[in-house]
């Protein structure tokens, strides 16, 4: 098995990164939706984030003939790129085979957007990845959280849980994100964009 993995082409290695902050106090925050999406994918595949190397929690598995690495950096959001840099140096995936999952205030709650490369959009975790990796070329799964309703400072807004009337919607969205990640791995980013970017999950009245 080790020999087979050593010979695997970088084209067959996929790295999925969920962004968030470690610690119980942040577990249900908007900023930790990337963590939650990775947790759901792990549960779906029967995996556990038990590898504690590289300042991250990670796991790897064979997935439809591809090597899949799932990870949640434990460096806190602003230094997420450091852990991801270590992972990229170790596993050596192509940058086009990497997807970063994170919250996004510029998308309404209930929306996801699969994006190929681009800037950070003010997200400090993505800024850290761009800095440490020296590239903007990785793909993203952006999870909409919307803007504050009650004039909360953005820093407080992202570190608090979603509004109560949005919780079911966000729960559905997270499962949609998992489907989009699987589509990205098996069919490519263009197909994932076409299939998922136009969808909106809304709480039924």
At the fourth CATH level, which superfamily is domain 2-196?
Peptidyl-tRNA hydrolase (3.40.50.1470)
pLDDT reported for residue 33? 98
Domain residue extents for the chain: 2-196
Query: Active-site residue 31, yes or no?
Result: yes
pLDDT digits (tens, 9 = 90+) for 52-78: 999 999 999 999 999 999 999 999 999
Inform me whether the pLDDT recorded for 202 exceeds 60.
no
pLDDT digits (tens, 9 = 90+) for 115-170: 999 999 999 999 999 999 999 999 999 999 999 999 999 999 999 999 999 999 99
Of the pLDDT bands very low, low, confident and very high (cuts 50, 70, 90), residue 204 is: very low
Residue tagged active-site, from 31, 102, 123, 124: 31
DSSP sequence for the chain: -HHHHHT--GGGEEEEEE----SGGGTTSGGGHHHHHHHHHHHHHT----B-GGGEEEEEEEETTEEEEEEEE-S-GGGHHHHHHHHHHHH---GGGEEEEEEETTS-TTBEEEEES---TT-HHHHHHHHHHT-S-SEEEEEE----SS---HHHHHTSPPPGGGHHHHHHHHHHHHHHHHHHHHH-HHHHHHHHTT-B-----
């Amino acid at each position: 098995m080790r020999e087979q993995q050593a010979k695997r082409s970088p084209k067959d290695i996929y790295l999925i990164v969920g962004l968030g902050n470690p610690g119980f106090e942040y577990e249900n925050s908007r900023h930790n939706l990337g963590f939650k999406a990775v947790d759901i994918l792990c549960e779906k595949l029967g995996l556990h984030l038990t590898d504690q190397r590289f300042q991250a929690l990670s796991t790897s598995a064979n997935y439809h003939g591809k090597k899949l690495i799932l990870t949640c950096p434990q460096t806190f959001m602003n230094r997420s790129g450091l852990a991801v840099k270590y992972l990229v140096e170790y596993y050596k995936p192509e940058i086009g085979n990497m997807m970063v999952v994170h919250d996004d205030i510029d998308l309404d709650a209930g929306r996801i957007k699969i994006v190929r490369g681009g800037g950070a959009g003010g997200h400090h975790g993505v800024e850290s990845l761009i800095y440490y990796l020296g590239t903007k070329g990785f793909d993203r799964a952006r999870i909409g959280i919307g803007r504050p309703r009650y004039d909360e400072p953005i820093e407080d807004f992202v570190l608090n849980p979603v509004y109560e009337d949005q919780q079911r919607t966000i729960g559905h969205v997270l499962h949609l994100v998992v489907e989009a990640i699987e589509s990205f791995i098996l069919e490519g980013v263009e197909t994932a964009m076409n299939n998922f970017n136009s969808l909106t999950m809304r709480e039924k009245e």
